Each structure stands twice: as C-alpha cells, then as structure tokens.
Amino acid sequence: MTIAAPAETATGRLGELIARAERLYEDLDFKAVAEWKSKDKTRRAIGFLPVYVPREVIHAAGGLPVGIMGGGDQTEIVRGDSYFQSYICHLPRSVIELLVSGRLDAMDGFLFPSICDVIRNLSGMFKLLKPDKYVHYFDLPQNFQRGLGGRFYGHEMREVATAVGRMTGIEPTDDRLRESIRVYNLNRKAIAELLKLRVDKPWLVPATEYYLVLRAGYMLPVEEHTALLNEYVQLVKDSGRRPMDNIRVMVRGAFCEQPPLALLRTLERAGCYLVDDDFVVGTRLVHGQVAEQGDPWDALADAFMHHSLPTPSVYDERHTKGELLVRKAREVRADGVLLMAPSFCDPALLDQPMLQTALEKAGIPFTSFKYSEDTGQFQVIREQAGTFADAIKLWGTV
C-alpha cells in the first residue's frame, strides 16, 4: 500500500518509459517473463535471489536471468508467514508466498547466492517445495586468490552454465561467454552514465524513477534494458527539471530486501537527494568493464574478486570497507549517509557499527533506521530524515 502521494508524474515519452518500468516492477506474476518465453519454445528463465550472480553466465547459455527481489509492499502474505518465525526478515516470506501461489512458475530454475544464512536455507526450502526444478546454492568465494577462490568460483560458474545450457540446448562456449560479457559491459556503461548523471544533477533523476529503471534490468533481456537506460538518461537530460533545496545523501544497507517505493519518496520529500545507494546492487556490483579478451571465466572471477563494490556479505579481506565508504561519500559529494537496513538483517545490521565508526572518524553525518519491504508507516522515518536534512542545511552537520 502506498501512503505517500505519487511523485510528480512524468509525461510524454518519459512518462511512457517510467510507466513501463513501473509495470515491470509491479509484475510479481512475472508475466513479462512468461511472455518472453512464449516467443520461442527453447527459452528458459532462471530466477536469482539477492545480491549477485554473474548474469553473463546464464546469458551465455541462452537463459534469461530474472531477479527475485521479494514481494514488495503489495503482496499479501497468506502462507509465507507460516514458514518463518517472527524474528526472520521479511523477504523470504514474500518469496515463499510467490512460490507457493504459483507466481514463480515461469522460472525454470533458481539460484541462491551465498549472502546470508536465511537465503542459504531458503535454497533448501525451494529444493523441498519444488523437487522437480533446478535449484542451486551459488557459493561465491570468500578467498580471492585466483588459484583458490578463483578456481572454485570458475567451477561454480561452469556448473551453472552447464545446467542452464542443458535446459536451453545451447552450449555456453567461451566465445558465447565473451559475447555475453560484451553485452553486459554495455549495460554496465549505461548504468554508469545514469549514476554519474545522478551525482552531477540529482534533480534530474528522482529516486523512484532511478530505482524503477535500474530494477527493470532484473526483468528485461539485457539488451532491452541497456536501451531503456540510455533512452531514460537522454530524456531526463532534456526534461528541464529544476533543482530543489535538498541535501545530498548516500544510502547503505538496502542491498538485499528492497525498500518500498513509498519509502524512497518519503526520503526525497523529507529533503534528501539520494546520490548513491546499494539498491539492487547486483546490477552494478562489478564496476568498470570486464575483460572481453582472454579466458572469460577468469575475467568474471577476477571482476568479482577484485573489481566489485564492498557488500556486507563478502569478506572484507583488506579491511578497507570504512575507508571505501568515506572515499565514496566524498566522491559523490554526499552531505550525509543514511544507514537503512532491513529489520532482522544480520549482515547489514552487524556491518553498521563498523560503518558508523568510519563515518564518525571522517566527520560525515549519518543517521540510521530500519525498514522492511512492506513497511507501511513512514511517519517516524519522515521526521528522522527531515530533521537530518534540516540540520545539515542549517549547520552542515547533525
């Protein structure tokens, strides 16, 4: 349920584009996926859970990677709650709800990246509830040496590629994978453009629009998504939107269970431009470009192990998470940081004290609060974010 009133509505071509992204966001029956599949009998869709899988691998085997990011705030939980105690986060409830109500039927397989114990165990639940589907726990490496973690990870990737290839009848050759890397590099480039524009001129890119166009990448074939991103960036550059007296904030903690759109609106209304965040972070966990030459499996492994954004689920080997956070905040000229974590999210909440220490040392203002994907009350958050913004505007600190 959306309590806050809708954001200023975009019109014309921009309006159509946003409406399309919003339809994809609300498509919790994954009709778009079923439609994509219906065009060719050999097409297969692989659902993956937060935070990150190398989608190139699925793409190379002819599959469509589809992000399963929870049920949002519109899914009524009838059966999902009966699988989880009250002290477990919300996302797995809605995912189970989607599964048992048949809304994930368009998926031919599921990947559960290794990010936390809840998602890990959810993989076993899927195995039990859908014994006839491909369900795989995708173990991302925590050792980052090429001969150890890299080798193990390469094997994991090959296994997924082979499994998907068996479904589609397409062999995931090195050449195909190189081509997939190239296609995803274009997507990464388009995302980088969007991120840059938001840092430079955040008034052109409202938080909900940003979220919707990014999230569309978890539903659309990558080629279409790249086109959508490029068009969006062009359209908002020409939109003539004007700056407001907002502060610039960075958001951390929302990498898995996604905040409802109404929460993003609430933050913006409270006077915050979101200039950096970790929403649907899997779309851009690997930053920069992945090597298009050489061994493509190694290239993907290297990218994950050495060129990815810090996230609480991946071991911080070099002990730099605080430093990187501060550096990023300076780079995007953030006035402050919102540490917003889902309730009961162990990785995000255990990370917070470390991030707070780093921010305190650097003198960067921050505030923290919890949410869940179906949060329906925003009064407290509105007041908190509003006070935070006002304090920064008045005194430059809190």
Site for another protein in 78-137 (CB under 8 A): 78-88, 92, 112, 114-118, 120-125, 127-129, 136-137
CA distance 263 to 379: 10
Q: 112 vs 304, which CB is nearer to another protein?
A: 112
* Beta carbon of residue 107, minimum distance to another protein (angstroms, whole number): 18
Helix (H, G, I), strand (E, B) or coil at 67: strand
CA distance 363 to 257: 29
Which residue in 148, 234, 331, 393 binds another protein (CB under 8 A)? 148
* Beta carbon of residue 69, minimum distance to another protein (angstroms, whole number): 17
Show contacts with another protein in window 223-252 (CB under 8 A).
none
User: Is 320 a residue that touches another protein (CB under 8 A)?
Assistant: no
Show contacts with another protein in window 356-375 (CB under 8 A).
356-357, 370, 374-375
Question: What token pair was written down for 274?
Answer: 């979101």
User: Is 376 a residue that touches another protein (CB under 8 A)?
Assistant: yes
How many Cα atoms sit within 13 Å of 34 on the Cβ side? 10
Task: Please identify, among the stretches 184-192, 239-247, 293-301, 340-348, the one whose residues bind another protein according to the rule CB under 8 A.
Answer: 340-348
Which residue in 173, 230, 343, 384 binds another protein (CB under 8 A)? 343
CA distance 181 to 149: 21
Which residue in 331, 377, 393, 397 binds another protein (CB under 8 A)? 377
Interface with another protein: number of residues (CB under 8 A) = 76
Q: 203 vs 369, which CB is nearer to another protein?
A: 369
Burial readout 376-398 (b: 16 or more C-beta within 10 A, e: otherwise): eebeebbebbbebbebbeeeeee
Which residue in 77, 291, 391, 398 binds another protein (CB under 8 A)? 77
How many Cα atoms sit within 13 Å of 237 on the Cβ side? 11
Which residue in 16, 26, 76, 238 binds another protein (CB under 8 A)? 76
**Do residues 26 and 221 touch, judged by C-beta distance below 8 A?**
no
User: Is 145 a residue that touches another protein (CB under 8 A)?
Assistant: yes
Helix locations, the chain, DSSP H: 12-26, 31-38, 55-60, 91-100, 117-129, 151-168, 174-200, 207-215, 222-237, 261-269, 296-306, 321-331, 346-362, 379-395
